[in-house]
Amino acid sequence: MPTRHNQTLQAVIERVNADRGLHALWRCANVNAVDRLAMSDHGPVHVRIVANIALRILRGLVGSGQTPSIVVNHGMTVHDAEVVTVLAALLHDIGMAIHRDDHERYSLFLAEPKARSLLAGSYVEPYLTVMVSEILHAIIAHRAGGRPLTIEAGVVRVADALDMSKGRSRIPFEAGQVNIHSVSAAAIDSVVIAQGEDKPIRIDILMSNSAGIFQLDELLKEKLRGSGIEQFVEVTARIEGETERSLLHQFRL
């Protein structure tokens, strides 16, 4: 995790790395997601990818002159906004350890004490409660139809949808669930986040097959729309090479 001289974030990440209870929750989340439901990864690899993507997007927005909500509304710092964003990303799916259905809500009551313990060495009241509240808001706002009210929450919501590179979203497809969701997920080769030309953030998505458009239209568009940061993000999708890779040789109902 590139902490960039953010000593508070560095300290929190060190506590995360040492928290065996949190690691167990990630493992339990993946047992439900991957082993029992044949879904894509919702465990430690997923949340770390989302945290890194979210941090990159947040820093890109700040670099373009946008001010995080915790700075505007609570008079705290950009470094605090980074901590909110990263911890929300790391905790957003721990409710999967209980059940897939309503997992965003379950994540809230698991994340509240966990966030407090991870932040306790770096924040005192009332700032500790402010940080926890902002983290919980970002967690619940990543659900379908969620309505982020902060830049940090919008960043986490969009970052969650961007964990779609080849080898990441293909578990349902390789497990034999052949449908438009799994085939389109398998068509995404890579996701690159860079500084945009017309907008602060550019998301370049490289595909091996045009079926990947469904993944973008159904998943990314829904996450980006209403995120509160859509006006700062441009998305491009393209297929490398002159021919598309075959993803499916035969389909039977």
pLDDT at 232 over 90: yes
pLDDT at 244 over 90: no
Q: What is the pLDDT of residue 183?
A: 81
- Can you say how many angstroms the Cα of residue 179 is from the centroid of all Cα atoms in its chain? 24
Rounded Cα distance between 67 and 76, Å, is 11
Rounded Cα distance between 89 and 103, Å, is 14
pLDDT at 120 over 90: yes
The band of 252, judged by pLDDT with boundaries at 50, 70 and 90, is: very low
Q: What is the pLDDT of residue 23?
A: 98
Q: What is the pLDDT of residue 243?
A: 72
- Please check whether residues 126 and 219 belong to one and the same domain: no
Question: Is 150 a member of any domain?
Answer: yes
Mean of pLDDT values over 159-176: 71
Token digits for 132?
Answer: 């926890």
pLDDT at 63 over 80: yes
- Please check whether residues 90 and 146 belong to one and the same domain: yes
Question: Is 72 a member of any domain?
Answer: yes
**Boundaries of domain holding 190:** 171-239
Q: What is the pLDDT of residues 175-210, one digit of tens each?
A: 667 777 778 888 899 999 999 989 999 999 999 888
CATH code of residue 225: 3.30.300
Question: Is 250 a member of any domain?
Answer: no
- Please check whether residues 119 and 23 belong to one and the same domain: yes
Q: Which of 160, 180, 200 is the last residue of a domain?
A: 160
Q: What is the pLDDT of residue 253?
A: 42
Q: Decide if 226 contacts 147 (C-beta within 8 A).
A: yes
Q: Which of 106, 129, 160 is the last residue of a domain?
A: 160
Helix (H, G, I), strand (E, B) or coil at 107: helix
Mean of pLDDT values over 117-122: 96
Question: Is 253 a member of any domain?
Answer: no
Mean of pLDDT values over 114-122: 97
Q: What is the pLDDT of residue 250?
A: 47
- pTM here? 0.91
Question: Considering its fold, how many domains does the chain have in total?
Answer: 2
Name 183's Cβ contacts closer than 8 Å, sequence gap at least 6: 173, 209, 211, 247, 248
Q: Which of 46-60, 93-107, 139-153, 154-168 has the weakest average pLDDT?
A: 154-168
Q: How many CA atoms lie within 13 A of 104 on its CB side?
A: 15
Percentage of residues in the chain with pLDDT exceeding 90? 70
